[in-house]
A and B are shown apart, each in its own frame.
Chain A
Amino acid sequence: MSSDTKFHVHHDAPEVVGRRERLGVRILIVADASFVFAMVFSYFYLRNLNTNGGWIPKDGHTFSVASGWVVVLPLIVGAILHKIGQRNLKTIGTISIITLVVYLYGLYYQIHQIMNMPFIVKDTGGFEGAYASSWVLIAGANAFHYIIASFLALGLVIRARRANVDPTLEKWRMRTAASWFTWIAISGVICAITTGIM
């Protein structure tokens, strides 16, 4: 113990802190997963109910199956890039720049899709049917995932350039970030499959 007479700060081992942080993030992922589950449940519930034949928009305008996969592709690429990058603390900064760009592109593409939805009623701005409604909710959740991921990737880029980080703790934080990146890629695939079934 310290002989400092005023006060001293005791650090838990970085290993312990890192593991704990990852646990916390994984529990938050459970909450997010439940959110995704509720969206998917709602999508199929409304689809199978097809109340008053109002599932598919009147003139049949929907997003193509392919566009659903294009928007989640950056999520998958980002997760793989991070997996490669986290092996080496020296290169993570560089690789994270690519990861960040990939995520920002995904975010841009998702927002672009939302701004150009084909199923908006011209004069009121309302949505044409339950498919359209369920789609925009899932797209919004994807965008949210991209925003958090971009924040984390940006942090990794900046932090890699600073010398005074604890390497062990930083390594654990890579793993913690990896938990999130992996989860949003999985969630992206679930969402792409869901919106592909029209």
Chain B
Amino acid sequence: MTTLSSHVSSRPIPNPKNSLITKLNAGTGLIVGVVFAVATYNLLKGENEDPGIAYNIHNRALLAAMFMWSIGFLVGIGAFIGPWRWLIGKDLTAEEQLYLAGDGQGIKRYFKYCTDHKVVGIQYLWGVITLLGVGGAMAMMIRTNLAAPGGHFITASVYNSLVGLHGITMIIAMIIVATGPFGNYIMPIMIGAADMAFPRLNALSWWVLFTAIPVLCSAWFLGGIPTGWTAYAPLSIQAGPGMNAFIATIIIFAVSTAVAGSNITATVIAMRAKGMTWNRVPIFVIGATISVALAVPAFPTFMVSMIMTALDRTYMTGFFDANIGGSGWLYAHLFWIMGHPEVYVILIPGVAVLMEIVPVFVRMPLFSYIGAVVGFAGIAGLSILVWAHHMYMSGWMPMLNGPFMVTTEMISIPTGLIFLVMLGTLWHGKPWLKLPMLGVYAFLWNMLVGGITGIYLSDVPADNYLHGSMYVTAHFHYTLMGAALTGAVAGLAYWFPKMTGRMLNERAGYVSFWLIQIGFQVLYLGMFTAGAEGQPRRVVNYASQFATANRISTVGAYLVGTGFVVLLWAVVHSWRHGKIAPMNPWGAKSLEWTVPYPVPLVNFDTPPVVTSDPYGYGKAVK
């Protein structure tokens, strides 16, 4: 691999002659992908008198077509040119690598296999916005249906699909919401690197993920999914063709996660600037790294469970079919061995963004850097020992409920540490109440509610009553949305100047913040109430006794929805017409604020040398 550095900004655009890479883009990817998919489907589809076998064949054709779409797209955009050239011993030339970095190619490079981490960061940002938009629209439909008992707005099967697809869309969006845009755009600059460790793998992780988005959306045209986002077996192996879209999405996404995870981890380990010892690494970088390091081993178990589901549906294996020796419990184990760490894969980067913000806006050093690191690491470590708290009521092994309750409740300890670090930093500071800082206060409140309600759910006797209710739904929205998404939005406000060269519109930002946060409390207060009274989750209709709580919830949801529309407007408007940002609008001390906008191709003219941590704002609080 090569790193590229430049001295003169007006250099000509490299144009490697006769190289295929100059002719490929997302358009050619689209064409090859669609051709591959259509050809595969037509090749494999077939008739059979036995409806069971016909079902298998149909699933096979659909699944293969989805994978071939993804592979075809990657072929068409040129993702395999690098490996191919390695294989035949003609490594990419320096000029070709420079061309792939996309410097000077304007807006076109966003639709190419571009290796510049800043381009990948922006691609991820718009990917996240798209997914949140789609998932959010589904949430509004769910809440509209639940506004009053009766639920005649949508049919029961469509409602089931809405709940499942809203779930998985949001989960995917939230996994990449901070590590995607900020982990790619900002993080390498924060550690003083010229690029990611593996620029081509970086482009690969994004474009692989991109191919999963149409696959996921295709579920709607294939009849939806009846299983919810957890895709429990054996329902999943009896479900209609839409289930294939779910399976393919997860497998493709798991590949993207492994690639991105290894890249980010290797970058932080191997690419830090001179002098950036581990105790000088910005806390966001630590959080993002712990998050992806947790994702790398966690997602393959989900992938295995999805391959098993696919095999059960296409080749009549019996992983989850109790008639031939399978077990639904196996699925639950594999799913939650991934599923619980995944919660922290989402949460940790969001919190780490806020931790990066607090010292800057109170002009105080981080209260305890080591406490924050230990907190994150403790959460990550414990999170792999708690999965069966999702199975208390499954009858799997009641005697293990106690131990899993203990490990789950122990997570309160490192989480508490994170709280203390935040509060300690705030304690004697004079907060500068700009938009990013508001997210910190919202986080502290939302995470408190999300955390405390979680303790009730981790408690076996209480869970006996609360499991499967709207209370659970409200709880995890407080953690994932109230805490992690709040952190990501604060991060967007904080790094918007570096990513776009302009300030995010402050007034629109405030309006959206208050709409979202007030709406959020209203929305989930209603849901907690309905859940505690016994309203089951994932059900299209409900008894009239829950009417008031649900109406309140829906009003809150509309407020939240409006808030996000305002935020989207602010982002789009500020991107085009916002106030030009100075190089370091917040007076922060980390490295990303030492480079101008647009950030040069290799970020730094001369490689930076780091001599202190980025939080030297004054004396530490004793």
Contacts and interface: CB of A to CB of B under 8 A. Distances in A.
A24 B304 contact: no
Chain A interface size band reads 35 or more
A27 B319 contact: no
A162 B326 CA distance: 52
B4 A10 contact: yes
B327 interface: yes
A52 B327 CA distance: 10
Contacts of A35: 300-301, 303-304
Contacts of B307: 137
Interface string B300-342: 1101110110011001111100111111011001100100000
Contacts of A55: 325
Contacts of A16: 270
B20 interface: no
State the main secondary structure of chain B at its contact with A. helix
Nearest to B13: A7
Given A17-B1, A124-B316, A1 B326 contact: no
Contacts of A158: 87-89
A12 B3 contact: yes
Nearest to B303: A35
Contacts of B263: 24
Contacts of A33: 297
Contacts of A11: 2-3
B5 A8 contact: yes
B52 interface: yes
A87 interface: no
B581 to A, nearest CB: 28
B317 A133 contact: yes
A154 interface: yes
Contacts of A41: 333-334
Contacts of B265: 27
Contacts of B11: 6-7
B201 A24 contact: yes
Contacts of B322: 51-52, 54
Interface residues of B, number: 67
Contact of B8 (A5, A31, A125, A126): A5
Nearest to A162: B89
B262 interface: yes
Contacts of B495: none
B334 A42 contact: yes
Nearest to A2: B7
Contacts of B8: 5-7
B3 A27 contact: no
A172 to B, nearest CB: 11
A38 B301 contact: yes
A160 to B, nearest CB: 8
Contacts of A5: 8
B436 interface: no
B97 A9 contact: yes
B155 interface: no
B84 to A, nearest CB: 10
Nearest to A5: B8
B261 interface: yes
A165 B88 CA distance: 12
Nearest to B325: A54
Nearest to B197: A20
Contact of A20 (B1, B7, B89, B318): B1
A37 to B, nearest CB: 8
A28 B7 contact: no
Interface string A157-198: 011011001000000000000000000000000000000000
A49 B329 contact: yes
B319 A130 contact: yes
Given A133-B311, A162-B89, A128 B326 contact: no
Given A2-B7, A17-B2, A31-B297, 20 more contacts: A7-B8, A12-B2, A20-B1, A24-B197, A27-B261, A30-B262, A31-B261, A34-B299, A38-B301, A38-B334, A42-B319, A52-B322, A54-B325, A55-B325, A121-B316, A124-B316, A127-B317, A130-B326, A158-B88, A158-B89
20 contacts: A7-B6, A9-B97, A10-B5, A16-B270, A21-B1, A28-B262, A30-B262, A30-B296, A30-B297, A46-B319, A49-B330, A54-B324, A54-B325, A125-B56, A125-B315, A125-B316, A126-B315, A130-B325, A133-B319, A159-B89
Interchain residue pairs A-B with the least CB separation, the first 7:
A54-B325, A126-B316, A130-B325, A133-B317, A27-B262, A35-B300, A9-B94
Interface of A: 1-2, 5-12, 16-17, 19-21, 23-24, 27-28, 30-35, 37-39, 41-42, 45-46, 49-55, 121, 124-134, 136-137, 151, 154-155, 158-159, 161-162, 165
Interface of B: 1-8, 11-12, 14, 50, 52-53, 56, 83, 86-91, 94, 97-98, 197-198, 201, 258-259, 261-263, 265-266, 269-271, 296-301, 303-305, 307-308, 311-312, 315-319, 322-327, 329-330, 333-334, 337
